[in-house]
Chain A
Amino acid sequence: MKPDTTDGLHLEAISIALNGRTLLSLSAHVRPGEILTVMGPSGSGKSALLAYLGGFLDPAFTASGRILIEGDDLTGVAAEKRRCGMLFQDPLLFPHLSVGGNLLFGLTPSIAKRDQRQRMVKQALADVELEGFFDRDPATLSGGQKARVALQRVMLSAPRLLLLDEPFSKLDSDLRQQIRTLIFSRAKSARLPVILVTHDQADADAAGGNIILIGEEAGR
């Protein structure tokens, strides 16, 4: 029986190789609100996997396999049309925009009215306890505040899935747990399939979903 591919994210026989050496090959199904954790040492191709899913893989790599989200085939679709939200180690708030400007940049264009856009951004700030931060310079925020703005920026873009590239690894342990809980719960309540790449077993435990080991660890 053919598996139902209309539900969540399906990775079908994804295989990525560099200079003829296969870095990873995997298939997976990530349901809405579920987190798939990918673990492996550096150089194992974790970042290449995220780049392939996001549509940014360097042409030096060869990759095959299909990416399906809610039944739509994303393979070969331009990066900007995939709506893959991404969070990195660094919050990467645009330094030339205000906090509000960063969120407006992220907010999906399907909301067109100016005042409605403003209202949604202000609400998004309030949701993460950052009321009144609209006009702030991102450079003046603390690490935890930046991480929350980065999360809201990606959530406002109405993504179809989330790709997390070790997003907690630069936070200290208290903050780390707090931000991790926040991101995971937001993704769950928005029913987004999430792929998390990490070094840290604690991240994988907190994610609670399936874990895929790639690279050396997979061969052990």
Chain B
Amino acid sequence: MGRQTEQNHIRPQAGGSMRDRFSVSGLVLAMIGLPILAGLAGTVGPAFGLLPALGGGHLTLDHFAELAAQPHLSRSALISFATAIVTTGVSLVLVMLFTAGYAGTRMFSRIQHLVSPLLAIPHAAAAFGLAFLVAPSGLALRLVSPGLTGYGSPPDWLVPQDPLGLTMMAGLIVKEMPFLFLVTLAALPQVPLVQARQLSASLGYGRIRGFLISVWPLLYRQIRLPVFAVLAYASSVVDVAMILGPALPAPLAVRITEWMADSDLQMRFLASAGALLQFALTVAAMVTWLVLEQIGSVLLRWMSRSGVRKADDRLLRRSACAAMTLSAALVFLGLAVLFLWSIAGLWPFPALLPGSVTFQAWMRALPQAGDAIATTISLASSSAAIALLFSIGLLWQGGVRDSRAFSSVLYLPLIVPQLCFVFGLQILSVALGFDASFALLLFVHLIFVLPYVTLSLSQPWQALDQRYETLAAGLGKSPLQVLLHVRLPLLTRACLTAFAVGFAVSAGLYLPTLLIGAGRIVTITTEAVALSSGGDRRAIGIYALLQTLVPFGGFLIASLVPHLLFRDRRAMRI
């Protein structure tokens, strides 16, 4: 549905009393902003010794001293810091080069179809898949053994938990790159891609160089918040770090999580001090990134002034394309290996495929997993449904479009490390006497689900031809009638997709579920990550696959329902 250039005379939404009576955006601001502030306060207090419930009644810096005395603390922090910068940098540069080289081509849409489903795969499942590929007894080495390597038994390599965290970074890159790619895709229509390409090509610039000089600065401005979200996530990630990251010492966030979950409640003071260190570390990573942005823009300016054309950039272009394809292939291959392990009978090392196939592991695991699956689905579907309602209300009132400040608050849960405020929330809820309850967990999930659902819905919402609504109002329909009978039916597919995105986010959420669920409410994701230390490959394979299948089911329903609903409406099925 194309929008007419002259339609900008039309106010997107006509006024209506119902719409003005209360403000959804105010409610959402409170819903997201207050828990984050309260959570941060709940972390800061105990870090300085203030936690009356545990007998902490006076200000002290002892807990920071205790934190500083932890062995190898600086190494843990350094690895987290490096992971943030490297993961974000590599993902962004690859996405940038690939978009520069291919935007608007058929290869671009092919890769887009390959990469989009990756977003639905939970981080932990992708990480397990990668671990099963690159481990000493993993598929990669089996492919070349014993033929090329001569290994008859798995070598004694420290992979995936290599001390530099390289596997962990790779595991994050294969998941963050699709995210950055999709937000770039969403921003592309807002930049004059075609004209800029023609102009720079006519001046003799190579595709990548021309794109970087003329389009990238505009595009980067649009995706800056998501980039910082990736930075914050990578600096404080727990589940991927537990699966792929180094063990002694573990990355900072993993160690803090262990302290938080310690049965000795006195450890919470230490954990709070650690969470503040984590906060500082994430801020430091962001400041570093700001410096890198400056360096990047100086480089770009220098590039555009030099006049160098770099007309032939095929090699660079193809490398970027290969890297994108490889990273997607790694995730899919990883899932395949997970599946193989879940049905493997005996599978000794150099054999490429299992000697026999058995469903015993599934038969054993499924009955036990039933409760976790049910919890995951009910938590994910209720948080996604509530978030969808809020998003519709927000967009209907125009809150998202009106203010940049608002969209920054919406992004806050993605930019403040989860660890820093969810732990504080947990402490507060214990202090206030709340038990770990489904309702509380649902509320916390909503904080993380809402931004993604709103982001997913807002683009199609704004792209809908406004003349449909104008016309309906001309036919005498009230704003509410227009919403219910015109806009929402026309956006059925977009609403379902937004729901599925929210569903997947909730289903894959690890740390908040772990901390707020307090071990009493478990989902597939917490169960899967808990298995990582055990090393039962068949069980891991099953749980990681279940973790993937649940959100996949959401997307499947989202794509099938419009076909059923609009069987006889051709234009609605596209």
Contact = CB atoms under 8 A, between A and B. Distances in A.
B4 interface: yes
A21 interface: no
Interface string A122-150: 00000000000000011110000000000
Interface residues of A, number: 43
B478 interface: yes
Contacts of A140: 570
A94 B16 contact: no
A157 B476 contact: yes
A55 B473 CA distance: 9
Contacts of B10: 47, 51, 56-58
A71 interface: no
A84 interface: yes
B485 A80 contact: no
Contact of B11 (A56, A106, A159): A56
A61 B7 CA distance: 13
Contacts of A5: none
A173 B247 CA distance: 75
A138 B570 CA distance: 8
A95 B478 contact: no
- Chain B contact-residue range equals 35 or more
A86 interface: yes
A79 B473 contact: yes
A184 interface: no
Interface in B451-498: 465, 467-468, 470-479, 481-482, 485-486, 489-490, 492
A95 B476 contact: no
B470 A58 contact: no
Nearest to A162: B474
Contacts of A159: 474
Given A79-B14, A94-B468, A137-B569, A109 B7 contact: no
B471 A92 contact: yes
A95 B16 contact: no
Contacts of A78: 14-16
B6 interface: yes
Interface string B394-409: 0000000000000000
Contact of A139 (B16, B475, B479, B569): B569
B566 interface: yes
A154 B474 contact: yes
A177 B155 CA distance: 82
Contacts of A54: 470, 473-474
Contacts of B9: 47-48, 50-51, 56-58, 61
B470 A86 contact: yes
A137 B7 contact: no
Max count, chain A CB within 10 A of own CB: residue among B9, B11, B14: B9
B571 interface: yes
Nearest to A49: B9
A20 interface: no
A80 B479 contact: yes
Nearest first, the 8 A-B pairs at minimum CB distance are A95-B571, A139-B570, A139-B571, A79-B473, A86-B474, A96-B489, A157-B475, A48-B9
Given A80-B479, A81-B476, A96-B490, 11 more contacts: A47-B7, A51-B9, A58-B11, A80-B477, A83-B476, A92-B465, A94-B486, A105-B475, A108-B476, A139-B570, A154-B475
9 contacts: A51-B470, A57-B11, A59-B11, A86-B474, A90-B467, A92-B468, A95-B570, A95-B571, A106-B475
